[in-house]
């Protein structure tokens, strides 16, 4: 199973990258005005924002790699690794988006990392 860790980590990183692109895209869009744009116009405005579109495409890549992983290893081994995406996103959000990273979040991130190490060694 450990031979699939690089592919699992690729899945984690693409998942995190997709989240970050979606956040960047949605932050740039601001609020929605359904009265002005309508539902269809709003959907097109969101989906065709370059960052949102790239994030959605990256999610597809992440999902394909995750499906490959699931075809090769136990889900109880592979799935917990996805929690590492939170670690990546939280660190990026702190340094780039200047979001809060409280002591309790840092502790939670530590638990996630420790738990993932235990799972990887099982």
> Is residue 75 scored above 70 in pLDDT?
yes
Does residue 119 carry a pLDDT above 90?
no
C-alpha pair distances (Å), 97 with each of 8, 35, 89, 94: 26, 30, 10, 6
pTM of the model: 0.86
For residue 40, what are the domain limits?
A: 2-121
Q: With a cut of 70, say whether residue 1 has pLDDT above it.
A: no
pLDDT exceeds 80 at position 68: yes
pLDDT, tens digit, 9 for 90 and up, residues 14-31: 999 999 999 999 998 887
Task: With beta carbons less than 8 A apart as the criterion, state whether 106 and 34 touch.
Answer: no
CA distances from 55 to 24, 75, 90, 119 (A): 9, 25, 17, 28
Q: Worst-scoring range by mean pLDDT, 7-11, 15-19, 61-65, 95-99?
A: 95-99
| Domain count for the chain | 1
């Amino acid at each position: 199973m450990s031979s699939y860790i690089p592919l699992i980590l690729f899945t984690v990183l693409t998942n995190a990258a997709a989240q970050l692109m979606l956040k960047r895209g949605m932050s740039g869009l601001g609020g929605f005005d359904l009265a002005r744009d309508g539902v269809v116009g709003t959907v097109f405005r969101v989906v065709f924002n370059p960052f949102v579109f790239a994030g959605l495409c990256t999610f597809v890549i992440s999902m394909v790699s995750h499906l490959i992983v699931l075809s090769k290893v136990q889900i109880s081994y592979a799935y917990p690794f996805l929690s590492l995406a939170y670690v990546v996103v939280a660190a990026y959000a702190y340094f780039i988006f200047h979001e809060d990273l409280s002591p309790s979040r840092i502790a939670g991130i530590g638990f996630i990392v420790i738990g993932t190490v235990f799972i990887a060694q099982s």
